[in-house]
Amino acid sequence: MNALSTALKVNVNIAYLDGHDPQGQVSFVPFQNAPFTFIEPVNLLYRPGHYDILDRRDADPMPPLLV
């Protein structure tokens, strides 16, 4: 993640859902390797075995088709 964050010049936040937190909370690990970027960090969700991208959008990129 450090190499990815540095190479792409973007910060990354990873939410781990691996079940290791005793209170059942989601643990976030930040990789802040692009300190002077104006781009919001990429948020990844780690579930054992793979990553998912968490993306916040203000509008639906594909509006429904009118039939």
CA distances 15 to 1, 24, 25, 51, 53, Å, are 13, 13, 10, 9, 10
Question: 9: which residues sit within 8 A by CB, 6+ positions away?
Answer: 33, 34, 37
What pLDDT score was predicted for residue 45? 87
| Side chain identity, residue 42 | V
| pTM of the predicted structure, to 2 decimals | 0.66
What pLDDT score was predicted for residue 59? 59
What pLDDT score was predicted for residue 58? 61
Asked if residues 45 and 54 have their Cβ atoms less than 8 Å apart, the reply is yes
Provide the residue-wise pLDDT of the chain in tens; the chain has 67 residues: 889 888 888 899 988 876 677 787 777 889 998 878 777 888 888 887 888 877 765 655 556 666 5
